[in-house]
A and B are shown apart, each in its own frame.
Chain A
Amino acid sequence: MTATREPILTVRGLEKHFPIKGGGLIKRTVGAVRAVDGLDLDLYPGEVLGLVGESGCGKSTTGRAILNLQPATGGSVKFEGRELVGLDRKAMRPLRRDIQIVFQDPYASLNPRLPVFDIVAEPLIIHGLTKDEAELRERVRTLVETVGLNPEHTNRYPAEFSGGQRQRIGIARALALEPKVLVLDEPVSALDVSIQAGVINLLEDLKERLGLSYLFIAHDLSVVRHISDRVAVMYLGKIIEVAPRDELFDRPTHPYTQALLSAIPLPDPRRERSRQRIIITGDVPSPANPPSGCRFRTRCQKFANELTDTQREKCLTVEPPLESRGPAHQSACHYAAATQVL
Chain B
Amino acid sequence: MSIVKDLDPAAPLLTVEDLNVRFPTEDGLVHAVRGVDYTLRSGEVLGIVGESGSGKSVTSLAVMGLLPASARVSGSVKYRGQELLGQGDRAMSRIRGKGVSMIFQDPMTSLDPVYRVGYQIEETLRVHDSKLSSKAAQARAADLLTMVGIPNAAERVRSYPHEFSGGMRQRVVIAIAMANQPDVIIADEPTTALDVTVQAQILEVLQTALSETGAAMVLITHDLGVVAGIADRVLVMYAGRPVEIGGVEDIYYEPRMPYTLGLLGSLPRLDSSTKQRLTPIKGSPPSVVNMPPGCPFAPRCPLHVAECDVTEPELVDVGGGHTAACIRIDEVRKAHGEAAAVFDETADDRLLGSEQPADLSAAAGTEDVGAPGDPVGERTDPAPQAGTGSLLDATTTPSTSTDGDRR
Contact = CB atoms under 8 A, between A and B. Distances in A.
Contacts, number: 193
B340 to A, nearest CB: 12
A160 B366 contact: yes
Nearest to B348: A148
B271 A194 contact: no
Interface in B354-370: 354-360, 363-364, 366-367
A162 B262 contact: no
Nearest to A202: B347
A281 B150 CA distance: 11
A250 interface: yes
A196 interface: yes
Range for the number of chain B residues in contact with chain A: 35 or more
Contact of A225 (B223, B253, B270, B391): B270
A27 B51 CA distance: 47
A177 interface: no
A223 B351 CA distance: 25
Interface in B189-206: 195-201, 203-204
Contacts of B278: 197, 200-201, 226
B352 interface: yes
Interface string A137-153: 00000000100111111
A267 B280 contact: no
A201 B198 contact: no
Interface stretch (A31-39, A77-85, A257-265, A313-321): A257-265
Range for the number of chain A residues in contact with chain B: 35 or more
Interface string B365-395: 0110000000000000000000110010000
Interface string B171-215: 000000000000000000000000111111101100000000000
Contacts of B223: 265
B204 to A, nearest CB: 6
A110 to B, nearest CB: 13
A272 interface: yes
Interface in A192-206: 192-202, 204-205
A159 interface: yes
Interface stretch (B27-35, B57-65, B224-232): B224-232
A148 to B, nearest CB: 4
B248 A269 contact: yes
Contacts of B262: 194
A160 B271 contact: no
B284 A164 contact: yes
Contacts of B12: none
A113 interface: no
A163 B273 contact: no
B350 A54 contact: no
B386 to A, nearest CB: 12
Interface of B: 51-52, 165-168, 195-201, 203-204, 222-229, 248-249, 252-253, 262-273, 275, 277-282, 284, 345-360, 363-364, 366-367, 387-388, 391
